[in-house]
């Protein structure tokens, strides 16, 4: 999200750019509040990048041409523009988090606060991303990644432009070359590491450079005529509309898809004030007003939506989300009128800038202190048992890696020469601690183990995965090849979060529901894999789904209600009715059982161990959570209680 809002001294003020900024922020807000309605609203951030690159570069070009450019003045202007509203929002998020968040959640907020204070939150989010990464909706400062990328760009870009002017080298080659390299890197990286492509400034800077290039071209005074202007404006409007409705989170984004909003934004800026769409629509008073408050609106809307989700413990109702959006508009206007404008256009001495820098440094240090001290657990001592369970994970533990035909596997030996291979996703990984316990306590009668797993991967061969889970392809084939080539292997265990794949196709390309063509093909692929293993002399086990659901997540057990502020937190029982789970997924489990048994595998049903006849609890008899989140058992529970895994590594049984 850009924080740029500057008029150019030698250019006429353009209300249509404020209107374009409004379209961008409204797209982002609509996507965050109603993602199924405006599927591609996140492209508003890309529009902001173009606007920012255009406006700020134009200012630098002009001041360089006049010989008045100053790094101090440039960064002082940025600080006055960005820091006032940002400091207020960061302080408010920290204050609300103090009362609302558990220790592990507040620890993560501290980490994000520290990253935001020094504008590296994109790297923080990049490094913590992964299959077990906490849901985006529960990260109140997630949206500041884009501001971090923008500020990283402006740490280097003015210097490069200054050097090009000093050396009398035209910047057009610098802009075009760097932009082309960044775009190429984005297209390449999104196919191999979508997270890196999303958060890296190197794969995003071409979007700002697109605006910079147009800012340079406008210095030569060429303006399109009436007809070309209207054509450019219409093309730009169509591209942005198409992008907002057609691009989705499943697309390989940014990459080539990001060219749609970038080109659209450039077209609208290039069209100028005289184009009909720019003059009538983008320059409308209401859009200009939204454009003026776009920066604080962007800052406020996501924390409100995020905390609403945290407090509700589930997806909030449409009415609640709409109320949060309306509240963000009110806060944005108050922030703009009461804080942003007075500081930005107030006294021009250095005192406000120094104070703002000191404030940002302080808020960053407070965040880092919170992170280092585990989220200040003294705030919520009675809820510590929930925080300890949340996200507890002990894989890969004592497993050691080795490579087999280009894929990384993990291994732990025991007192016997024989091995059991575990294939699947993180629902297989959760059972590692039980095998570790058995190897430690009874090594003479326990197989060594090999794990061939990856989060979000359905262990069925020949499936096509989405961009995020492309690394899953070949997982099962590699495991089957290892089984055929390892003479010490006796047993293979196949397990996964079957329900999420077969009911809605999580991470997969295709249409999945019970009985669909892709569903049937997946079951057929599983049967073929079991048959291959059985013909190779292996014992094969298929472990069905554990009970899953938000009500089993230890965070769900932390009831939060702002009505009782400041005592927001209280404990509620978790758990799910067994009948409701069987009604939702019993058919899939029955199909898996029939398929596996017909192919020669033994089937293990964790429901028979985790649930009683009526209920699948979220806590044990002492009130201690047995889950780490809504889809994985916590290691502490698995180590002692997941006895249904014992048979698969028992040297006597296999």
CATH number of the domain encompassing residue 605: 3.40.50.1110
Answer for the pair 19, 291: CB distance below 8 angstroms, yes or no.
Answer: yes
Structural domain count, the chain: 2
* 2 assigned to some structural domain: no
Query: Residues 474-504: pLDDT tens digits?
Result: 999 999 999 999 999 999 999 999 999 999 9
42-51, 266-275, 464-473: the lowest-pLDDT one: 464-473
Do you know the residue count of the chain?
654
Can you give the three-state secondary structure of 500-512, one letter per residue? HHHHHCCCECCCC
Tokens in use for 410? 């993990």
Backbone angles phi, psi at 554, to 5 degrees: -60, -25
Answer whether 449's CB lies under 8 Å from 420's CB.
yes
Whether residues 479 and 370 fall in one domain? no
In the listed set 343, 375, 407, which residue is the last one of a domain according to the structure? 375
Q: Are residues 465 and 318 in the same domain?
A: no
Cross-strand partners of 419? 448, 489
Same domain, 462 and 596: yes
For 590-607, the pLDDT digits (tens) are: 999 999 999 999 999 999
Whole-number Cα distances in Å, 90 to 115, 136, 152, 315, 484: 11, 18, 19, 24, 56
- Identify whether residues 440 and 484 lie together within a single domain: yes
Mean pLDDT computed over 286-302: 96
pLDDT for residue 632 is more than 50: yes
* Residue 139, burial from CB neighbour count under 10 angstroms (0-12, 13-18, 19+): buried
**How many whole angstroms separate alpha carbon 299 and alpha carbon 47?**
16
Whether the predicted pLDDT of 358 surpasses 60: yes
Mark whether 246 and 143 lie in a shared domain.
yes
Tell me the C-alpha to C-alpha distance, in Å, between residue 88 and each of 93, 107, 140, 230.
Answer: 9, 20, 14, 41
The answer to whether the beta carbons of residues 320 and 312 sit under 8 Å apart is yes
Question: What are φ and ψ of residue 458, in 5° steps?
Answer: -80, 120
Determine, yes or no, domain membership for 130: yes
Residue 622 lies in a domain: no
Q: What is the pLDDT at residue 133? A: 55
Decide if 299 is inside a domain: yes
- 601 and 492 within one domain: yes
Q: Phi/psi of residue 604, each to 5°? A: -115, 130
Q: What is the pLDDT of residue 220?
A: 65
pLDDT of residue 7: 39
Q: 375, 405, 422: which is the final residue of a domain? A: 375
**Looking at residue 344, what is its pLDDT?**
84
Question: Tens of pLDDT along 59-105?
Answer: 888 888 888 888 988 999 999 999 999 999 999 999 999 999 999 99
List beta partners, residue 403: 408
Q: Is residue 447 part of a domain?
A: yes
Specify whether 320 is located in the same domain as 401.
Answer: no
- Among 4-18, 161-175, 178-192, 346-360, name the one with the lowest average pLDDT: 4-18
For the cut 80, the answer to whether the pLDDT of residue 627 exceeds it is yes
Determine, yes or no, domain membership for 402: yes
Local confidence band at 391 (pLDDT 50, 70, 90 cut-offs): confident
Same domain, residue pair 346 and 422: no
Q: Per the structure block, which two tokens stand in for 621?
A: 């008899």
> Tokens 């219409």 sit at which residue?
234
- CB contact at 8 A, 30 and 247: no
Which one is predicted more confidently, 274 or 488?
A: 488
Q: Is residue 565 part of a domain?
A: no
User: Which range (440-444, 565-569, 637-641) has the least confidence?
Assistant: 565-569
User: 235-271 pLDDT, tens per residue?
Assistant: 999 999 999 999 988 788 899 999 999 999 999 999 9
What percentage of the chain exceeds 70 in pLDDT? Answer: 96
Assess whether 150 and 196 both reside in one domain.
yes
Report the alpha-carbon distance of residue 344 to residue 331 in Å, rounded: 18
- Least trusted range by pLDDT, from 3-12, 125-134, 283-292, 450-459: 3-12
Distance of CA 387 to the CA centre of its chain: 21
* Other CB atoms within 10 A of residue 166 CB: 9
pLDDT confidence of residue 478: 95
pLDDT in tens, 117-157: 999 999 999 988 755 556 788 899 999 999 999 999 999 88
Look at residue 1 in the predicted model and tell me its pLDDT.
58
Residue 476 lies in domain: 393-547+578-617+632-649
User: For position 505, what pLDDT does the model report?
Assistant: 92
pTM exceeding 0.85: no
355 shares its domain with 403: no
pLDDT, mean over the chain: 91
Residue 5 has pLDDT above 70, yes or no: no
Position 228 in a domain: yes
Q: Which two tokens stand for residue 400?
A: 């050691």
Q: Is the pLDDT of residue 398 over 50?
A: yes
* 67 and 166 co-located in one domain: yes
350: confidence class by pLDDT, cuts 50, 70, 90:
confident
Contacts of 460 (CB under 8 A, 6+ apart): 476, 522, 525, 526, 529
pLDDT at position 63, please? 87
Q: How far is CA 39 from the centre of its chain?
A: 16
Do 318 and 460 belong together in one domain? no
Of 375, 406, 440, which closes a domain? 375
Return the pLDDT at 4: 45
| Sign (positive or negative) of CA dihedral 519, 524, 530, 532 | negative
Percent of the chain beyond pLDDT 90? 70
């Amino acid at each position: 999200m850009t924080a740029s809002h500057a008029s150019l001294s030698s250019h006429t003020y353009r209300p249509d750019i404020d209107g374009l900024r409004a379209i961008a922020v409204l797209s982002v807000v609509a996507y965050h509040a109603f993602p199924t309605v405006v599927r591609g609203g996140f492209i508003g951030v890309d529009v902001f990048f173009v606007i920012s690159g255009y406006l700020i570069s134009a200012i630098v070009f002009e001041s360089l041409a006049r010989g008045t450019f100053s790094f101090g003045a440039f960064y002082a202007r940025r600080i006055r523009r960005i820091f006032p509203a940002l400091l207020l929002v960061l302080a408010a998020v920290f204050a609300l988090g103090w009362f609302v968040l558990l220790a592990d959640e507040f620890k993560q907020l501290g980490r994000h606060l520290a990253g935001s204070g020094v504008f590296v939150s994109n790297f923080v989010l990049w490094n913590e991303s992964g299959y077990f990464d906490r849901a985006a909706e529960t990260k109140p400062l997630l949206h500041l990644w884009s501001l971090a990328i923008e500020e990283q760009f402006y740490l280097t870009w003015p210097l490069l432009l200054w050097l090009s002017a000093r050396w009398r080298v035209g910047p057009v080659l610098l802009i075009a070359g760097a932009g082309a390299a960044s775009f190429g890197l984005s297209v390449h990286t999104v196919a191999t590491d979508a997270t890196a492509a999303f958060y890296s400034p190197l794969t995003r800077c071409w979007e700002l450079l697109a605006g910079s290039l147009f800012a340079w071209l406008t210095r030569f005074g060429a303006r399109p005529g009436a007809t070309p202007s209207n054509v450019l404006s219409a093309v730009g409007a169509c591209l942005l509309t198409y992008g907002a409705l057609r691009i989705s989170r499943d697309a390989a984004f940014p990459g080539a898809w990001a060219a749609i909003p970038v080109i659209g934004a450039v077209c609208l800026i290039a069209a100028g004030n005289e184009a009909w769409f720019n003059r009538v629509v983008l320059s409308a008073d209401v859009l200009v007003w939204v454009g003026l408050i776009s920066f604080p609106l962007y800052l406020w809307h996501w924390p409100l939506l995020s905390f609403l989700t945290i407090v509700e413990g589930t997806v909030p109702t449409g009415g609640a989300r709409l109320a949060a959006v309306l509240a963000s508009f009110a806060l944005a206007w108050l922030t703009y009128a009461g804080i942003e404008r007075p500081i930005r256009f107030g006294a021009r001495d250095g005192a406000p800038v120094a104070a703002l820098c000191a404030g940002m440094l302080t808020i960053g240090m407070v965040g880092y202190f919170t992170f280092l001290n585990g989220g200040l657990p003294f705030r919520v001592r009675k809820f510590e048992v929930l925080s300890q369970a949340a996200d507890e994970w002990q894989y890969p533990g004592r497993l050691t890696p080795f490579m087999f035909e280009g894929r990384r596997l993990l291994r732990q030996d025991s007192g016997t020469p024989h091995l059991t291979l575990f294939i699947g996703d993180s629902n297989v990984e959760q059972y590692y601690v039980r095998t570790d316990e058995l190897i430690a306590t009874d090594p003479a009668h326990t197989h060594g183990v090999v794990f061939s797993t990856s989060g979000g991967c359905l262990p069925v061969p020949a499936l096509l995965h989405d961009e995020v889970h492309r690394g899953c392809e070949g997982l099962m084939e590699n495991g089957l090849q290892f089984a055929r080539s390892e003479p010490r292997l006796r047993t293979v265990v196949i397990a996964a979060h079957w329900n999420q794949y077969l009911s809605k196709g999580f991470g997969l390309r295709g249409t999945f529901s019970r009985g669909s063509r892709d569903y049937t093909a997946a079951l057929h692929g599983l049967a073929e894999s079991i048959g291959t293993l059985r013909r190779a002399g292996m014992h094969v086990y298929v472990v069905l789904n554990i009970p899953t659901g938000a009500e089993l997540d230890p965070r769900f057990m932390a009831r939060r209600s702002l009505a009782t502020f400041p005592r927001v937190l209280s404990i509620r029982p978790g758990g799910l009715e067994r009948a409701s789970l069987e009604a939702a997924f019993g058919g899939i489990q029955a199909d898996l059982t029939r398929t596996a048994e017909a192919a020669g595998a033994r089937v293990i049903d964790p429901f028979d161990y985790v649930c009683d006849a009526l209920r699948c609890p979220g806590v044990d008899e002492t009130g201690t959570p047995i889950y780490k989140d809504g889809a994985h058992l916590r290691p502490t529970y698995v180590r002692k209680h997941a006895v249904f895994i014992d048979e698969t590594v028992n040297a006597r049984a296999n």
